[in-house]
Amino acid sequence: MPPASSSAVVRDGIYEITDSVSGQYLNSIAADIYNRYCDDALILQDKPSRLGKWEIAGIGHGYTVKQVSSGLYCALADCDQLLSQTVVLSPVPTVWCITYEDLATQTVRITWSISDLCWDTPPTGQGRLVSMGKLAGMKDGSDKSAAMHMTWCLKPTGPNDTMGPIQPGIYALQNKASQTYVSLSPDESTVSCWPEAQLEKTGVRLSGIGYKTKVTMSRVPAAWRIVASKSPILADEGLVQIFWADTQVCWDLASFGRATPGNPVSVSTFVH
């Protein structure tokens, strides 16, 4: 079973994950979302990359670990052959038990939730694969060096990672640049921004997603991902960005955030 830990829980958010011994970053080879399993995809490297951002989300009593760039999950390829198999990327998530070993340094152990097997690495060398290792010998301290290679450090990315999840509810959405509010346009089709005093005058066919495509109303829902803003110039508490599903395409107010009444809300690619 998973090792004992403090009562602290890992917050949902986007992290960089490093090996607690070598400091190397958890990255991956380029993964194709259409592959059923991307074997040997998870590797350790000296430097972080765009492939090294991981979204940790609580589910039940465990967590899923998803690669932000591909939308694929860290998973077990074969639940019948666990020991020493590599952790792979898959469209089907595995639920992991993530427990703190040292809260101050954000050091955790990542264990398969129904076993005593956890993420492990070979001792040395860049490009090492992440595999499953057994916790035997760790409780009595007889294999401390091996135990260290089974721990990982979490580094939150972005200024607002402590904001926490957004609760379900009804919200007013105000654009930071223009201070105007998102609302339905008089044509009852497009979505635009209006000053608060004119909201009562405003009241989507889903357009193709592309650069500067307008956000419109539709009976068919789109999947929107709402996250704390990672821009250093938007570091105020409570500011968010709205992305389409697992892409880097996000809501953008036309004309560089002008306060013109009826200024359309569009989507464009977010550049870090």
CA dist., res. 43 & res. 34, Å (int): 20
Residue 69 lies in a domain: yes
In this predicted structure, what is the pLDDT of residue 78?
65
In this predicted structure, what is the pLDDT of residue 153?
94
Same domain membership, residue 124 and residue 225: no
- CA–chain centroid gap for 269, Å, is 17
Same domain membership, residue 196 and residue 141: no
Same domain membership, residue 111 and residue 24: yes
Please count the structural domains in the chain.
Answer: 2
Q: What is the pLDDT along the chain (272 residues), one digit of tens a residue?
A: 344 444 678 988 889 999 988 889 998 876 554 454 455 468 888 888 888 999 998 888 889 999 888 888 888 876 555 555 778 888 888 899 999 998 889 999 999 877 778 888 766 555 567 777 777 555 555 555 556 668 999 998 854 444 555 666 677 788 888 888 888 877 778 888 888 766 655 543 333 344 457 788 777 767 788 887 766 555 555 678 888 877 788 899 888 888 888 888 888 887 66
Among 109, 67, 62, 69, residue whose Cα is nearest residue 90: 67
Residue 65 lies in a domain: yes
Same domain membership, residue 207 and residue 118: no
**Final residue of a structural domain among 103, 122, 156:** 156
Same domain membership, residue 19 and residue 136: yes
Q: Phi-psi bin for 219: left (phi > 0), alpha (psi -120 to 50), beta?
A: alpha
What range defines the domain where residue 205 resides? Answer: 181-269
Same domain membership, residue 254 and residue 143: no
Report the CATH number that the domain containing residue 38 is assigned in CATH: 2.80.10.50
Separation in Å, CA 215 to CA 16, 208, 234, 258, 269: 31, 9, 22, 17, 14
pLDDT tens, 158-197? 544 445 556 666 777 888 888 888 888 777 788 888 887 6
CA dist., res. 185 & res. 69, Å (int): 33
pLDDT, mean over the chain: 74
In this predicted structure, what is the pLDDT of residue 33?
46
